[in-house]
Structure 1
Amino acid sequence: MGSIMVVVLIGIVILAIIVYVGILAYQQRIRRQVAVLADKKASLVAIPLADEVKLVGQLSLTGQSLERFETLQNDYADITKERFPRIDTQLKAIKDASRGMNLVQLRQNLAKVTILVNQTDELVQTVQAKLAELQEIDKQHRQAVHDLEQKYQDLRKTLLAKNFAFGPSIDGLEERLSELEDNFDTFTKLTQTGDHERATDVLTQLKEDTASLEDLIKAIPPLYKDLTAIYPDQISELKTGYEQLTAQHYRFGDTDIPGLIQKVADQVSGNLATLADLRPADAKVVNERIADQIDQLYTRMQTEIDAKKPVEENLDNVARFIAHAQNQNQSLLTELDRLSQNYTLDHQELETTRELNEQLRAIDGIYQRDVQDLTGKSATFSEVLTHQEQQEKDLKQIEEQQTQILKSVAGLADEERQARETLRQFDFKLHSLRRQVENLNLPGVPQDYLDYFFVVRDEVEQLATDMDQPQIDMEKITKQLLIIQTDLDTLGEKTDDLLDSAELAEQLLQYANRYQASHADVAQASQQAKQLFEQDHQYAKALETIATVLDQVEPGSYKRLEDAYYQRKGKPKPQPDDQSK
């Protein structure tokens, strides 16, 4: 029991020692923080705010600037007379209390004084910055007074020394400068009295107005030079040039050169008034328009000068071209009229050629008027040159049309001769096919073959009739030839099929006689095939009937007989597609 008590006592002693050591450590930490805050406060005290306040106070500030300074003075007094003593008192109290045991109160008081020190630091920095700002503004304004005074002196010297370069703008520029100098005097007084808030507003406007005046002084001289030197010289040159050209019989059509020159001169005078109103941007736009109009006048005159030589050189060439096209058109009309007696012209060749004749008459009319104007010294060369260029273009197109028309009708006679020869061949072919069928002495001809034969015969007869007309339509004839050729080829194939089927059927019927006594089916098929051959005239069907039964009795017999037939005839055996026709 005694040993337990000893252990408990030892534990309590150890715990007390730990607590005591902790309290001592915390107290030491508080004193260190107090020392840091005291050092920070000392650094604030070391800032020469008093000197800066004194310097700014010597600026003789007024107005809003003075109000700002007075506010800063109050802040300075609060810092030095209120905040610094209060910080010292609170730090000393915390340091003294750091030996006690009330740790919570110590922490709260330390937090409060820390906030006070930080706020004071921010206030000191703000006051110092604003005092510096007031000094800088005062410095800038005084420098601005010096700079602007020098600038206005220079501007006035420029206006005096080069007033000839500004023309009617000089009065307005001097008035602007006087207004600037009056405003500068106001700015100077505000600066000298220390009312920097109002001075700043005046300075901003002064800078804008000064920059504007400098821009005017820079922009006006070149514009004024154009209006008083460059353009008047060019206008004078244009007038002289026009007089010389008209004396040399140059004409300018509907273009009123003197009126346009006067219009430019009026714009020059009007733009001088724009410069007098100090509106160089507007004057520049008009100057550019004047320069463009002067260029157009020069170009218009040069156009006539350049056109004269080619106009004179082209006269004979155009005349020959027109005469050649007219002669060629007359020859074409004569040829078409002759051809139209014998042939139908389906593509308005005559009408087109007559239209070309009217075009040529119109072209020649314009040419003759131009020649008359040139002879009478009243022609506008550029207009005549335009006519000539268009005439050459139109004449080339007319010649191309003439060539196309002539080419389209040139072969009509040859086409007719060829068509008549082809008609003769068609007629010979028809008679040849008819003789082939008649020479076979068949008991009759299938109706479908006869119908097709007569259709082709009627087509040939119609072609002959059309060819015998006083006026032949060769385009229609050509289409008929193509159709008849196709139909005649088909008729030839049908004739070959008819003849081959009939002859083969006869041969197979004769060959089948050897089997009639011994094979009833052959006898029956032979009887049926004869009926188809002699009565119905269906030779292909008769051939199929007897060939089928023979191949059953004697396999391969039909092919052997067929091959022998075509070999004897000396022509190739038709393929299945051919036979199907």
Structure 2
Amino acid sequence: MKYVIGAILLLIALFIIGLIWRKKVYDEVDRLEGWKMDIMNRRVTEELSKVKSLNLSGETQEKFEAWRARWDQILTKELPELEEDLFDAEEAADRYRFKRVKVVLANTEKKLVAIEEDIKMMLQELEDLLDSEKQSRLEIESMQPELKELTKLLIQNRHQYGKAVRVFEQRVGELKDKLSEYEQLTDQGDYIEANTLVQTIRQETTQLQEDVHHFPDRLKQVKIELPEQLKELKSGVEEMKAEGYRISHFDFLPELHNYERSLEEMLVQMEQGDQSGIEDALTEIQTRIQEMYQLLEREAVAHHYVEKQFVPLKAQLDELEYVLAETERELEEIQQTYQVEEGHLESHRSLIKWFNQMRKRVTSLDFRRADGETSYALLREEVEDTEKQLQELEEQHGYFHERVQNLRKDEREAKQKMTKMESLLLDTHRRLKRSNIPGIPTSIYEDMKAASHKVDEVFQSLEAQPLDMAVVNEKLDEAMEMTEQLSQDAEKIMETAQLAERVIQCGNRYRSKYPILAAKLLEAEEKFRSYHYDQALTLATEAIKEVDPAALSKIDKEEEVLV
């Protein structure tokens, strides 16, 4: 029983699916049928009838016949065949022939698309034809007055065109003949060929207008202006040669003769109404003339510059030679006294070598300045570079000379420092003597001897031949450091001794009351008399702290007041 019910349900489902599928097929058939009817109702015939207002012949007639035949074929053959195809699709759907329905519907839509494309192309070509006829007519109407204006211009300004006026008038006549040919083509109904002719006439008219517009100026340049410029330039070249300017290396004259011949050939060409390549040739000649003038001007300016600057340049070189010689003599004198570093000597040798190169260069410049051949423009570049290098050489010499002078400057500064050290040593010794201390500690005495010995070494270094300032400065620094340290130590010793003496004097007030204090003070006095002032101060301070700590504060305050 289950299988029976299942089979019945399956049949029902298949039936429903079949109904749905057939409904979709019928809908698609209706859509394609509507599309077909829309094509049949198109106003293609009315659009094609617009062409009948024109006189048809030739290619235009052929196109019209092709459009009409194609539309007739669509209406009488292709669309009825599509009707049969749609009927076949419905029959196949009724029989559930799925593949057949799919193929028929796809082919039908493909044919409709192709028909649509053909109709679109026909209507576009038709529109182009009608529009081109209109545009051609407007273009012809605009060109007629343009040709009349060209004719008028040529008549009024014949002298500006010379022999070429006949060529231009002939070209105008040919264009007028083509206008007449256009009228003939339109009268015959050959609008496509007429439109092509109009485009040709427009191009030729535009070109003729440009040629007529530019011709007078070009002819004037070829016949008058440029020949005069070339003549003037040749005269200038000859004049500069006569005045001694070195311009032979430019070799301008043959080039100018070639340009004159080219202008003669261009004149013949233009008299025939041919301007091809003329503009480029004129631009080339004009540009080259300007270049020649610039080169000649540059040579003239360079000539003036070299003649003006060479004498001062040579004087500058002579002055530098004298200065270098003085520096060399000064350096030799210094070498007898000082130990000159190898770096200084190498710098001097480099300067001399550099100067000799400059001397050779200036000599070469002078020779070529007088040879009558070398370009002054080239000489100017070398003069400017030589001036620059001489300036740099002078600067480097200035730096070197300053370094040489610094050798003696270092010596003077060292002697000044020596004087200060001697004064400081004497002052230190004098202050120690004048102070009321029992004597000078052994350490201070030894330091004084050592400092004096260092000062003597500096003196000996300064007296050495040759003088080595590096050694002098090294010993000088050591001596200064030792002398300054000695002065500080001596000052500290005197202060310590004075303080120790005051503390001992303060403690004497407690001697009778404190035997232990008295013993320590006695020891402090022994240290004081044996020049051990630090130890004396320490012993006396410790002793007083035990009996009267406030006493030390009083002493400190008194010391501050005294200071």
Question: What is the CA–CA distance in structure 2 between the aligned matches of 1:278 and 1:546, rounded to whole Å?
Answer: 130
User: Structure 1 residues 269, 229: closer, same or farther in 2, change over 3 A?
Assistant: same
Number of aligned pairs? Answer: 459
Instruction: Please say if 1:471 is aligned against 2:471.
Output: no
Instruction: Please say if 1:497 is aligned against 2:486.
Output: no
Deviations 1:514-552 (CA, angstroms, capped at 9, x unpaired)? 4356458856875886798789x8744653564366356
| Aligned-residue CA RMSD (Å) | 5.4
Unmatched 5+ residue regions in structure 1? 1-49, 75-130, 574-581
Instruction: Please say if 1:423 is aligned against 2:390.
Output: no
* Contact persistence 1:268–1:290 (CA under 8 A): no
Cross-structure match for 2:548: 554
Question: What is the CA–CA distance in structure 2 between the aligned matches of 1:259 and 1:326, rounded to whole Å?
Answer: 48
**TM-score normalised per structure 2:** 0.61
User: Structure 1 residues 511, 384: closer, same or farther in 2, change over 3 A?
Assistant: same
Deviations 1:32-81 (CA, angstroms, capped at 9, x unpaired)? xxxxxxxxxxxxxxxxxx9xx9999665355658949x99xx9xxxxxxx
Instruction: Please say if 1:336 is aligned against 2:331.
Output: yes
Instruction: Please say if 1:303 is aligned against 2:288.
Output: no
Cross-structure match for 2:537: 543
Cross-structure match for 2:239: 244
Deviations 1:128-164 (CA, angstroms, capped at 9, x unpaired)? xxx9999997666445445435544665787797698
* Contact persistence 1:138–1:194 (CA under 8 A): no
Question: What is the CA–CA distance in structure 1 between the aligned matches of 2:432 and 2:461, rounded to whole Å?
Answer: 29
Question: What is the CA–CA distance in structure 2 between the aligned matches of 1:430 and 1:199, rounded to whole Å?
Answer: 125
Equivalences for 1:153-552 in 2 at 5 Å? 155=150, 165=161, 184=179, 187-196=182-191, 199-219=194-214, 221-223=216-218, 225-252=220-247, 255-258=250-253, 261=256, 284=279, 287-346=282-341, 351-378=346-373, 380-410=375-405, 413=408, 416-417=411-412, 419-427=414-422, 429-430=424-425, 433=428, 440-442=437-439, 444-445=441-442, 456-457=451-452, 459-474=454-469, 477=472, 481=476, 484-515=479-510, 518=513, 522=517, 539-540=533-534, 543-544=537-538, 546-547=540-541, 550=544
Question: What is the CA–CA distance in structure 1 between the aligned matches of 2:348 and 2:245, rounded to whole Å?
Answer: 39
Secondary structure in structure 2 of the residue aligned to 1:341: helix
Question: What is the CA–CA distance in structure 1 between the aligned matches of 2:263 and 2:527, rounded to whole Å?
Answer: 114
Question: What is the CA–CA distance in structure 2 between the aligned matches of 1:198 and 1:539, rounded to whole Å?
Answer: 136
Unmatched 5+ residue regions in structure 2? 1-45, 72-125
Overall identity of the aligned pairs, in %: 19
User: Structure 1 residues 269, 455: closer, same or farther in 2, change over 3 A?
Assistant: farther
* Contact persistence 1:444–1:534 (CA under 8 A): no
Deviations 1:255-302 (CA, angstroms, capped at 9, x unpaired)? 44446546766886898899999786x754554443232112112222
* Contact persistence 1:267–1:290 (CA under 8 A): no
1:470 to partner: Cα distance: 0.7
Instruction: Please say if 1:60 is aligned against 2:33.
Output: no
- Letter of the 2:236 counterpart: G
- Letter of the 1:508 counterpart: V
The worse-fitting range, judged by mean Cα deviation, of 336-345 and 526-535 is: 526-535
User: Structure 1 residues 517, 184: closer, same or farther in 2, change over 3 A?
Assistant: farther
Deviations 1:408-442 (CA, angstroms, capped at 9, x unpaired)? 54475565355335324424533654576688455
Question: What is the CA–CA distance in structure 1 between the aligned matches of 2:543 and 2:170, rounded to whole Å?
Answer: 134
**TM-score normalised per structure 1:** 0.60
* Contact persistence 2:520–2:539 (CA under 8 A): yes
- Letter of the 1:333 counterpart: E
Secondary structure in structure 1 of the residue aligned to 2:244: coil
